[in-house]
Amino acid sequence: MSKLFSSVTLGEVTLANRVMISPMCQYSAIDGVAQAWHRVQYGRLAMGGAGLVMVEMTLVSPEGMGTAGDLGLWNDEQEAALAEVAATIRKLGAKPAIQLGHTGRKGATQRPWHGGMPLSAVDLEVRGEQPWPIVAPSAIPMSADRVTPRALSLEDIDRIRRDFVQAARRALRAGFDVIEIHAAHGYLLHQFVSPISNHRADEYGGDLARRIRLPVEITQEIKALMGRKNALFVRMSVTDGVAEGHGVPESVTFAQALKAAGADVIDCSSGGLIGTASNSRSARSRGFQVPLARAIREGADVSTVAVGLILDGPQAEAVLKDGSADLIAVGRSALDDPNWPLHARQTIDGPGFEHWPPQSGWWLERRAALLSSTQRGMSPLE
């Protein structure tokens, strides 16, 4: 059997296989509450055969929202709706995971398909989306055409740490096996880590040890809350992709500190600090972030997730076999084909349908036999 479809245990969480559906914002929540869209979207991704289905970036406070359609996890209604999403994922065969975040200076923007720019009076008039004040480690906007955030006070930082821990408590109650802390893509925790966005002169700014302090403290507190029964992932941008930013050596140090604080897995992405997450200046080609996952795995002796243009089963299998990562995350390919894991399995473990849900697999097995007999020139009834 392939490595991709062998089970893996992280903390005490055992996944049936090593395919993770990467967190992908759906921008379809109302007041931060998951809707039918989320139950169906995450349910069909679970039916597609992934070992782990990770729910999109879910904000720990109203201030941390990116767009008006983001998921939130600061009240009981949001928790109850996410509990249904988690139960749906589990019933359909995968382990449920959720990513917790705060967008910092990237907050209060339009959905990508409305332009992705700061919310303005026009958005209020057209869609009833009122902008809200945004915050960051320092009062530095992401770019000249973005809103300048308010620099956080030490009291604010303390509150944000407690917001993360409280959201993690709710996520555990809602039934998620895995929590991922979002410290990548230019969102708040990444803004603390990068020297481009963090110009603070107190204990949360300055040298690397101070810049990584907030994500490390949050990791420690959430791990203490969850114990060994659940697994804790942290997603980081291993490189900012810009000359003045941080790179692999700093990220190895960061990963070592996260591991010591209790992180089980580092999910290795890149970019996003300047422009959008899909706008880092790193070259983008098949598996472009795999070397980053390998560098963190080797440098910090920690389990990693590789992500980014991993397009088919043989490519994913090769990434695992060469020791670059422990899990493979699949994003856009799963939007295109929610059955991506089932199809990938057929390309590396054989063409049968025995791993498919019988509701579809039983029929497809017979259709495949029919088609091959037709191709051999036999009548379908023979």
Ligand X SMILES: Cc1cc2nc3c(=O)[nH]c(=O)nc-3n(C[C@H](O)[C@H](O)[C@H](O)COP(=O)(O)O)c2cc1C
* Closer residue to ligand X (CB): 25 or 200: 25
- Report the residue number, 23 or 118, with the smaller CB distance to ligand X: 23
Phi and psi for 108 in degrees, rounded to 5? 55, 50
Q: Which stretch binds ligand X (CB under 6 A): 2-10, 20-28, 168-176, 189-197?
A: 20-28
235 binds ligand X per the rule CB under 6 A: yes
67 belongs to the binding site for ligand X (CB under 6 A): no
Q: Which is nearer to ligand X, 237 or 303 (CB)?
A: 237
Residue 307 contacts ligand X per CB under 6 A: yes
| Options 38, 170, 185, 246; binder of ligand X; rule CB under 6 A | 185
- Tell me: does residue 182 bind ligand X (CB under 6 A): yes
Nearest residue to ligand X by CB is 331
Candidates 22-30, 190-198, 203-211, 238-246; binding stretch for ligand X (CB under 6 A): 22-30
| Smallest distance, ligand X to C-beta of residue 269, A | 5
Q: End-to-end CA distance of the chain, in Å?
A: 33
CB of 310 to ligand X, least distance (A): 6
Residue with tokens 């992280």: 10
Angle, nearest 10°, between helix axes 76-91 and 154-173?
40
Q: How far is CA 148 from its chain centroid?
A: 26
Q: How far is the CB of 175 from ligand X (least distance, A)?
A: 20
**Which member of 24, 33, 80, 242 binds ligand X (CB under 6 A)?**
24
Number of continuous H segments (helices) and E segments (strands) in the chain: 13, 13
Instruction: Decide if 11 contacts 176 (C-beta within 8 A).
Output: no
Which of 19, 155, 41, 195 lies closest to 94, judged by CA?
19
Measured from the CB of residue 203, what is the shortest distance to ligand X in angstroms?
A: 27
Neighbouring CB atoms inside 10 A of 176's CB total 28
Site membership for ligand X, residue 85 (CB under 6 A) = no
Q: Rounded CA gap, 233 and 179, in Å?
A: 6
* Residue 42 a catalytic site member: no
Which of the residues 313 through 352 are near ligand X (CB under 6 A)? 330-333
22 binds ligand X (CB under 6 A): yes
DSSP 192-258: HH-TTT----STTSSSHHHHTHHHHHHHHHHHHHHTTSSEEEEEEES--SSTTS--HHHHHHHHHHH
Contact set with ligand X (CB under 6 A):
22-25, 56-57, 99, 182, 184-185, 235, 269, 307-310, 330-333
Q: Catalytic residue positions?
A: 187
